[in-house]
Structure 1
């Protein structure tokens, strides 16, 4: 294999000697000697001295090459742009084309173009063009590179999706240039062939030790293989030169965790978050670390941030509920649990702690039904107990031991159920049926026991018998609906719920289930029926506040904020103010409009209405945390009077406050707060493995963390735990989507895991990623971050018209979010719709967006505006590709 070594550099020098003034011969000779001795820095000084006297195209070309050898890719690109290509000799022109191709691939610049004749024979140019085609369209016409033996087989394997398993060692031996290595390395990266990528990139680094451009992807691959030492050697020089690089800071946090430098690791991941990594996995990981440290207030903020970015994230949702329970926010926890599609063992444990609280809450009906469908014996027992307790809650015990009294009989059955004595419970109920006149109610109890036992067929038979006695039996229709939904027959489930609502519109729980099943069915007919049911309930009942709030909530989740506010304005305010959901919706709408002052006013009124609740303060603190105002968020929570710290709510308050302490880096306070929480009684069972696993991550005990979290997931199949495991694997450098795919086989409607999988596939399998995003969007409106990711992957696949529509809707929801603007600006740039970018001139504040704005002005021939925008750009805040654009615009502005 030929290498770009000292001899190769010397040949370039000899080429230039014949075209430079004789006065420069000494400089050239000294430069040659310096290169032969591996003194590329000294060579750079000598060439610059020669150029200071009389710069020539040949000397500038040589400086370009030396810059590249010294790792100054940006400087090399700048020098190459200044070279008068026509003034070079043919051999120098060939050299310039080779350098241009290498710089483009190093910069991951898919817009690569040749310097001179596009039809000329240039092997390196052909490679760069083929690579650019893959980067733009994820495919390549193999005829274009048929003569390039070593790389041809790599492109061929890439096209046939077999590159993942390709042995690259023989290819490296047959490779004849560094450009071949760069192309092979990037194709292997795109195919997730980690070992092959490491081998190829290491070969390139051996020839070019000073080049930093591939350090981060190579470091990521090394972390996958747990080679933290070598990864650190790659990340450190990148941070030394580009301290604000978000990926470098993120990788650095993983490395610091492996060294048990937990505080430094947390600071590093916070920097990564600050500098631009805005991912649910980052917020979730931070939340877990905070939760593990018993910083529950901060954890609450982190989990809420994660769920806002990825509403379907099961792990984030589970931890959000668990944290609320820790903080004593039981009513909100009940509402959240009741709206979840599936329940993990951790959720079941949380529900177990909630039994006996909020006893009149309608959510207990939904939870009982969901638990009844679970494969977990614990869940089925809990379902039976809830069903019995709920049905018997209105009974009064006439006297102890009265076997004709329903409440007495319920207590006897409940005791048997609690001990999982299903046979004894069934025998008792059969005798009860012989002496009762209320046979439908007792038959419902019998069916509940069969459900807890796991015998749904017998339960169905009993429920069918009740429908012969009472065709409107709600419990039976609920069972039929949930059984149909379990088999993905959502229309069948909706038909069963229709039978309930036709006889009783005043059933908010059934309406909520109707909404969930209608969304899954994707049938517009049932969406129309749902709105009709709600509208009829609003018209029929004087006390229609809950139905109006439900309607407003549907509009809000669909992003129709104006319609939601209109419904809210029509609610009987005096009655609505007595319901937390009213205030939560008002606060949510204020947050969606990015109106901090309005949010403060809502919380102020909310606190007046519920002076003994911590929920308003926690909501405001969470909002402030999202806005980056951490210290104020902490202050809001620390001002809550201790007298308000009732057992139910103190857990939520402590959890949120501890979370914020960790976020702010006040680990001593966080540790103390966590200690307080651990001493609280009746913590959710099954939660400790999850928490200990999270804490192990913070301590960089990654093996222990994986063991604990894997145990928690095995016990619960909880998607929240699965997401944390996935995040942990990413931290360890192990990119494995198989656990997500296996989970979806068992839980195909788990939107949160679908979203995580779609996100993980971006840049690897964009077509599959798009298909998953489209499936999610067809089932729900999707949050802004999810839609932004969807728009981005559409853009990557060249589907810019569709991407534009999605990105435009995202920016409409928040036109100050620089991440959303970045996506929109890049799509508009690709579409050459530069005037639409300038419409957001007052919104662009990040360096990248300001640069794209300057670029738009240049294309519109508004150089003055372009120059003003460019002057605001801080180069250190740009990535490699944007730096290239910055240099081009700077050059054009001056001309």
Structure 2
């Protein structure tokens, strides 16, 4: 008898959100109270709860307003697009038009259109239309604006090109709406009235502190005025929410430069460049930082990009030549310098570095003449040096490219590696080693070249040499650890990691590797050492939140929930709440205790902390899915606004929804959602085939499903896909464990597939099934379904004492699950421990469990209780074996 199939989980992840059901009006009232008290985050959570129960047009409009107050303009726009405008009251329609206008201006969307009647009297609509006209044509018909409004004067001054001298202060005082302030601020921005723009936008920010859309133009204006502190206060929250915003990263780099944080500034501007900003000033600034750090190859690309966008930029052109000189591209540099009408001091310096190269090039004659005519003493001296060089006296003059410089050498090696010139790179490094004093670092580079070449033996030899010079060399010990792990010598890997941690406890990456290898080694000695390392790190470092979370996570996965919770309670909550892992652990612990209300409270708080993340909502859906509440799971996900800035999260959300639609049999919605996913760029391998295969199973197109899922599995080796293929085989009446076995040969530590194999062997090869279950349990605490199946196969083999211990722990985790109770009841029946069955009399609800309860009462000579229990049993819900027991108890009760 197979207790329970381990169900596949489609592309899902993590946790949950929600709260106990309330009356619809209660939510609305609480939301309004929260808004009146300035608690807009709490209002958002409340209105989302109301929406999950009954998403009316009025509620959706209220959610739009709350999103806007909280600065979620994208979410507000998406919610407003879903509102049925015709179903709103007139006052609600007016509110919708106002929100629509404000969203358009905040989004700088010049294609603004009204929601309903274009001829209706809507002041905010007229302002938005006037602003849109300016954005499109740079002018406005003043007859479209009411003459008695504050913003009329701004439009008038804009048309007459006098906005730069207009006194803004009285206009702000006379302004009657936030939309007026937005329009005034943008017109001032377009007229380059920096001070006026700052004043107006600050007035808007005072009313709407959470709205981030104008933060960046306001920060730009503040940077022009050298107010770096206030600019930073505006840029930081934008980056916190939209880390990939290119303009925010660019402005952040300028702020970091003002603080002399050049490395951080370079990282920020590199992100801006990566995320698609195309401004000559960005490429120029990035190039200057790269040049300053002697990263000339990258600087060359940046300066070329800047000059292509702005050919007349003098500094960009000069720096492009200087960079070519640094890289030894002297012919291009000479030609460019010779054609320039004037030479700056930087140009003169660049020419100085070229002296002695290309001495017969005709450009030297031109350059020498220009320098001789210069008023700069340095230029005239340089002219004489050029003449000496042209006569062959250049031996003592410096050459471009300082070969003792580590950065220069590393760039040369990197260029060779990019071209897969491993031999040349090794020869270069050998010469570098002859010159350098930092031999360990350069030997690490040499070992890395061997690894890239595929020669791990030579890499090992080099790393062993570094350990003779520096016994604590982290790179060498990491290589040794990973090599040992590849050969499944996990204890050897742990010994190498020991040597790193003995010198540096504050290495979270090594600790995580240690945990992984210790789990695989199954050696309690190293488990004790791991706990010792973590405990010492907790004691040694003030900032120990990550170490405590790691310790709590270890306890949680071992099933030691009380110990995990105790550690969680000792964490600095203010710091921990900023880390998703904290919330994931809190939810995991609530889930393990089967406290749905506690789980909902955890996720509610998590959602407040990370209001723009989809993770809590996807988590709740996953939680509800496992509980069989598919429709509610779908409802939760349908309320989540997509984020244009978080494309991966949006993709995960769509994929999860598609899977749930398929599982629920809502194939029209599933087909539509899969179609949306098809249009997205850069999809993960196998995703579409996985979803289409799942869809085909629901349509009973099993051949097509097998073809699609097999293709998805070949591309990804994904466990979820393999489980679905296995389920498909079961549906077709063919049990083929070979695909599971082959997978485990390639991925021997895939516990989910091990569990599936162990389950499929129940009743066929129980000894082998037990061996696999025991191997899994030795590596992890195992989930309740897995342990339930383990208890069952132990029972089938007559190992009831051990089976009882396992089943008891499973029921303790969830004493309302009828599958778990069934396993325990049958084991207890086999052990003749009938009293313990009756302890769960209030928990048994399935026909089979109620029958086993009646049987227990009969063995305890409690016929009355047995008769009551038997009366609740529906014979149609029993299998053949249980029907026989039913008939026997019925007969005994009557006697």
TM-score category, normalised to shorter length = 0.5 to 0.7
Change (3 A) 1:409 1:228: closer
- Structure 1 distance, partners of 2:10, 2:270, is 46
Identify which range, 684-693 or 576-585, moves more after superposition. Answer: 684-693
The CA deviation string for residues 427-463 of structure 1, in whole angstroms up to 9 with x for no partner, is 5655655565544334333333433433221221222
CA distance in 2, matches of 1:373, 1:729: 88
Counterpart residue number, 2:69: 69
2:527 is aligned to 527
Which range moves more in the overlay, 530-539 or 364-373?
364-373
Partner of 1:833: 833
Check if 1:501 corresponds to 2:501: yes
How far is the alpha carbon of 1:467 from its aligned partner? 1.6
Q: Contact 1:235/1:251 (CA < 8 Å) preserved in 2?
A: yes
Contact 1:787 1:810 in 2 (8 A): yes
Contact 1:766 1:797 in 2 (8 A): yes
- Alpha carbons 1:549, 1:568 under 8 Å: kept: yes
Structure 1 residue 889 displacement after superposition: 1.6
Against the structure 1 CA distance between its residues 244 and 45, is the aligned structure 2 distance closer, same or farther, given a 3 Å change threshold?
same
- Tell me, yes or no, if the aligned pair for 1:606 and 1:616 is still in contact at 8 Å: yes
Q: Counterparts in 2 of 1:694-705, with a 5 A limit?
A: 694=694, 696-698=696-698, 700-705=700-705
- Preserved contact between residue 224 and residue 734 of structure 1 (Cα < 8 Å): no
Partners of 1:331 and 1:534 in 2: how far apart? 59
Query: Cα 1:149–1:419, aligned 2, differ >3 Å: closer, same or farther?
Result: closer
Deviations 1:781-811 (A, max 9, x none): 2221111111100101111111111111111
Deviation at 1:716, TM superposition (A): 5.4
Residue 676 of structure 1 aligns to a residue whose secondary structure is helix
Length-normalised TM-score, structure 1: 0.53
Residue 174 (structure 1) shift: 106
The 1:206–1:277 alpha-carbon spacing in structure 2 relative to 1, beyond 3 Å, is: same
Moved more, 661-670 or 824-833: 661-670
Change (3 A) 1:179 1:706: farther
How big is the shift at 1:585?
0.5
- Shift of the 426–67 alpha-carbon distance from structure 1 to 2, 3 Å rule, reads closer
Distance apart, 1:631 and its partner CA: 2.5
2: CA distance, partners of 1:288 / 1:444: 29
Residues in 2 aligned to 1:152 and 1:109: alpha-carbon distance in whole angstroms: 21
Residue 685 (structure 1) shift:
4.0
Q: 1:379 to 1:448 in 2, by over 3 A?
A: farther
Between 385-394 and 572-581, the greater mean CA deviation after superposition: 385-394
Please say which of residues 480-489 and 296-305 is displaced more in the overlay.
296-305
Distance 1:52 1:632 in 2: 8
- Distance in 1 between residues matched to 2:320 and 2:831, nearest whole Å: 41
Q: 2 CA distance for matches of 1:181 and 1:570?
A: 48
CA distance in structure 1 between the partners assigned to 2:364 and 2:326 by the alignment: 19
Q: Is the 8 A contact 2:481 2:492 kept in 1?
A: yes
> Residues 384 and 663 from structure 1, CA distance in 2 versus in 1: closer, same or farther, beyond 3 angstroms?
farther
Retained in 2: the 8 A contact 1:349–1:686? no
Shift of the 763–20 alpha-carbon distance from structure 1 to 2, 3 Å rule, reads: closer
Please tell me whether the aligned partners of residues 15 and 621 of structure 2 are also in contact (alpha carbons under 8 angstroms): no
Q: How far apart are the structure 2 equivalents of 1:13 and 1:503? A: 36
Q: Is the 8 A contact 2:828 2:834 kept in 1?
A: yes
Report if aligned partners of 1:17, 1:28 keep a CA contact under 8 Å in 2: no
Gaps in structure 2 of 5+ consecutive residues: none
8 Å CA contact retained: 1:302, 1:659: no
Query: Aligned pair in 2 of structure 1 residues 31, 582: CA closer, same or farther (>3 Å)?
Result: closer
The 1:101/1:495 distance shift into structure 2, 3 A limit, reads same
Distance 1:731 1:188, change over 3 A: farther
More moved, 574-583 vs 374-383: 374-383
Q: Does structure 1 residue 441 correspond to structure 2 residue 454?
A: no
Q: What CA distance in whole angstroms lies between the structure 2 residues aligned with 1:879 and 1:180?
A: 74
Deviation at 1:480, TM superposition (A): 0.8
Cα distance in 1 between the residues matched to 2:848 and 2:135:
21
Over residues 844-884 of structure 1, what are the superposed CA-to-partner deviations in whole Å (9 max), with x where a residue is unaligned? 12111111111111111111111221222222222121122
Question: TM-score scaled to structure 2, two decimals?
Answer: 0.53
Asked whether the equivalents of residues 481 and 497 of structure 1 are also in contact (C-alpha less than 8 Å), the reply is yes
Change (3 A) 1:617 1:246: closer
Of 726-735 and 156-165, more deviation after overlay is shown by 156-165
Secondary structure of the residue aligned to 2:634 is helix
* 1:383 CA displacement: 51
Alpha-carbon spacing, 1:58–1:623, altered in 2? closer, same or farther (3 Å): closer
CA distance in 2, matches of 1:662, 1:867: 44
- Mapped to 2, the partners of 1:304 and 1:877 lie a distance apart of 77
Displacement of 1:28? 77
Structure-2 change in CA distance of 1:324 and 1:437 (3 Å): closer
What's the CA shift string for 1:289-308, capped at 9, x where partnerless? 99999999999999999999
Cα distance in 2, alignment partners of residues 833 and 137 from structure 1: 87
* 2: CA distance, partners of 1:636 / 1:532: 42
Kept in 2: contact 1:346–1:685 (CA 8 A): no
Q: What are the Cα deviations for residues 468-516 of structure 1, in whole angstroms up to 9, with x where unaligned?
A: 2321111211111121122222111111110011011111221122122
* TM-superposed deviation, 1:122: 97
**Distance of 1:837 and 1:810 partners within structure 2:** 15
Greater relative contact order (Cα 8 A, min sep 6): structure 1 or 2? 1
Q: Is the 8 Å Cα contact of residues 253 and 268 (structure 1) preserved in structure 2? A: yes
Deviates most, 725-734 or 349-358: 349-358
* 3-state SS, counterpart of residue 382 of structure 1: helix
Q: 1:197 to 1:412 in 2, by over 3 A?
A: closer
Mean Cα displacement is larger for which, 788-797 or 19-28?
A: 19-28
- The answer to whether the 8 A contact 2:232-2:255 is kept is yes
- Mapped to 1, the partners of 2:891 and 2:223 lie a distance apart of 39
Deviation at 1:620, TM superposition (A): 1.4
Distance 1:154 1:236, change over 3 A: same
* Aligned mates of 1:628, 1:223 — CA distance in 2: 55
Q: 2 CA distance for matches of 1:159 and 1:574?
A: 52
Contact 1:368 1:386 (8 Å CA) reproduced? yes
Shift in alpha-carbon separation, 1:24–1:679, aligned structure 2, 3 A: closer
With over 3 angstroms needed to count, the CA separation of the structure-2 counterparts of 1:689 and 1:654, relative to structure 1, is closer
**1:137/1:381 Cα in 2 relative to 1: closer, same or farther (>3 Å)?**
same
Maintained 8 Å contact 2:356/2:389: no
The answer on whether the counterparts of 1:329 and 1:652 sit within 8 Å (CA) in structure 2 is no
User: Which whole-Å CA distance do the structure 2 matches of 1:278 and 1:115 have between them?
Assistant: 34
Measure the CA separation in 1 of the matches of 2:363 and 2:892.
64
Q: Give the structure with higher Rg (CA).
A: 2
CA contact (8 A) 1:369 1:479 kept: no
Distance 1:625 1:507, change over 3 A: same
Aligned residues of 1:847 and 1:877 also touching (Cα < 8 A): yes
Inter-CA distance 8–387: structure 2 relative to 1 (3 Å threshold): same
CA distance in 2, matches of 1:240, 1:772: 46
* Offset, 1:399: 16
**Contact 1:472/1:499 (<8 A) preserved:** yes
Deviations 1:108-162 (A, max 9, x none): 9999999999999999999999999999999999999999999999999999999
Residue 27 of structure 1 deviates from its aligned partner by 73
**Equivalent in the alignment of 1:777:** 777
Supply the distance in 2 between the matched residues of 1:129 and 1:188 (Cα, whole angstroms). 17
**Matched residue of 2:388: which SS?**
helix
Q: Which runs of 5+ in 1 are unaligned?
A: none
Contact 1:387 1:448 in 2 (8 A): no
Q: CA deviation at 1:820?
A: 0.8
How far off its partner does 1:663 sit? 2.8
- Segment drifting more, 296-305 vs 105-114: 105-114
Distance 1:728 1:745, change over 3 A: same
Distance 2:405 2:190 in 1: 70
Q: Is the 8 A contact 2:2 2:762 kept in 1?
A: no
Report the CA distance shift for 1:679/1:436 in structure 2 as closer, same or farther (over 3 A). farther
1:15-70 per-position Cα deviation (integer Å, ceiling 9, x unaligned) = 99999999999999999999999999999999999999999999999999999999
Q: Spell out, residue by residue over 1:678-715, the C-alpha distance to the aligned partner (whole angstroms, 9 max, x if none).
A: 22222224555555555554554544544454455556
For 2:644 and 2:11, how far apart are their aligned partners in 1?
80
CA-CA distance at 1:627 after TM superposition: 2.1
Residue 192 of structure 1 corresponds to: 192
Question: Where does 1:618-633 land on structure 2 (aligned, <5 Å)?
Answer: 618-633=618-633
Q: Is residue 224–residue 733 contact of structure 1 (8 Å, CA) maintained in 2? A: no
Question: Does 2:153 match 1:139?
Answer: no
Deviation at 1:733, TM superposition (A): 2.3
